[in-house]
Structure 1
Amino acid sequence: MHKPPAHSRRIILRILGSTLATTTFLGVAPLAAAQEYPDKAVKIVVGFAPGGTNDILARLVAAKLQDRLKQAFVVDNKPGANSAVATDFVAKAKPDGYTLLVSSSGGLTVNPVLMKSIGYDSVKDFEPIALLGSFPLVVTVPAGLPVKSLSELLSYSKKTKDGMLDHGVASSSFQLVAETLSSASNVKFNHINYRGSGPVVAALLGGEVQVGILDSAAVMPQVKAGKLKALAVTTGKRSAVFPDIPTVAESGFPGYDVPIWTALMAPKGTPEPVLIKLRASVAEILKEKDMVDKMHAQGMDPGDTDASALSKRIASDIARWTKVAKAANLQPE
């Protein structure tokens, strides 16, 4: 067999060596990048203005990740369209682990149901990292309303002029929760929209509405002051933060379980080693006593759902809210 000239063999060997080196580099590059992650500041985007539950939780997690991973984690507030602006921004961000999303359950599971055109797909455009926490909504009434329990409220509703209760609506998510209660109990609500939980609390205190189904952080100060009454929480089990408030299920509607939750998400395509590092770090953070205490102070229970279960939960919640909206004749806008 004829051998190529010596100089040709040297060229072939150089080409083979270069190809092998390139192949090896491509194989180890993602792993090396993940081992070094993060080597610059990480942005955590929140779809609401500073001061709300999601923002507070994002800042708690950011501080913990910064301490643990020795790099800056910066919260970036992008409010608008019930968090759709921020969610869309992260869905289209470079999937390298340096742009993350702290999202309410509404942003991921209600917006796709009640918004005609959003620029993201909650299931296809994101990688779940962790369920950060969940909290109940609280069925709340003015202190002067002559009821002491959810069952008494339902009986009271039947005595009103139209057989309906004026319900202060803080968000589309909360309205859907109210509709699940309506479906379970046959109570009828006349929904009155307000610009957030604070205005609904003011409406309850002023007697403008008879009931509000609201986040615990908004109502509990007034409940403790004796100006509002908390009749039930919407989670399947009693909140560790408010153990004296019965659940809707305990109040005569077995199986009722409608929590509000907050999750940490990354854009689809984020390298798996980066996701593994983030998931492990957040899982450990959510077990730290000071973190648990701070979350309880906000009326939240720390999350305990892994990424796979969170992904299934997002899909199942979208299906659930689709049925609720259809039954209530709520049309996408």
Structure 2
Amino acid sequence: MGFKDVMLNIVTFGAHQRVVNAVDGYERLQEELTELNEKHEKRRQEINTILENVIGAKKAAILKVKKTQEILENLSIKQRDIIDEKIESENYSLEKMDASITAGDMAISATKGAVAGVSTALGTWALIGTFGAASTGTAISTLSGAAASNAILAWLGGGSIAAGGGGIAAGTAVLGGIVAIPVLAISGLFQHLAANKKIKQIREEELKILEYIDSIKKNLVQFDAIEMRSKELIESLAKSLEAFSYQYKTVYKRVFPLGVVSKILKNMKKTIFKKAYFSDKDLGYILDLGNTTGFILKMVDSPIF
């Protein structure tokens, strides 16, 4: 403590030092907040990249499994019911498959350009899970206008965190935001009353900073969880699509052994002889393919948040 500080303390009966101590503590909190904010922004950008990979993986899955519809569309109502009874034991039906693929197609179509970022319709669909809404007929374009979607997109979009914070889907967690914090400094001599008021103001600002720090720390934990879930999902989808590709080719060859000729013969059987397009043997192959498709679409429909 210098001579000037000593004299100021004498003149202010120690009020000067109390203010100095309060400001020192406040500035240390500001430094901690700045460091955490920089770490938060870096992690946010890293997670954005990971989530873009999730979007790509789900898009690839939809584009691949929609091939199943080319086969399923020829099922009779009775045959669909037979398959549904067995598939629904896995809590998935042909109707849900169609709705999921349709929702994905709508999201993909609504996104223009080669890059599908987190702030696109495709990003919204892939990250927060829109099957429930899309299956009831809600347009995919309106989903990005939902409060939860806006909060996510504001957080995941480019640039700094939106002032005032944001939220994750369905309000399951809250992402705190960083606002401009006024810089407090000592100027002139303080009397006891002035010092107490100044210290009170500093304490109030410290409480705000502590809230921001707590929010950022929670966000960082959430980032880790999102990263882990995203990587697991991407890996699972990749492996499942490999299996699907092999199975689809196998089923297609068994159901249509002669290719186009088989399709013509099946159409003749259906239109001329009024018999089912697929045989009972075909249904067994189609059921296996349906179960695999349903398993993949469950992962596609599952939200990241």
The TM-score with structure 2 as length reference comes to 0.25
Greater strand proportion: 1
Higher Cα Rg: structure 1 or 2?
2
Greater helix proportion: 2
The TM-score with structure 1 as length reference comes to 0.23
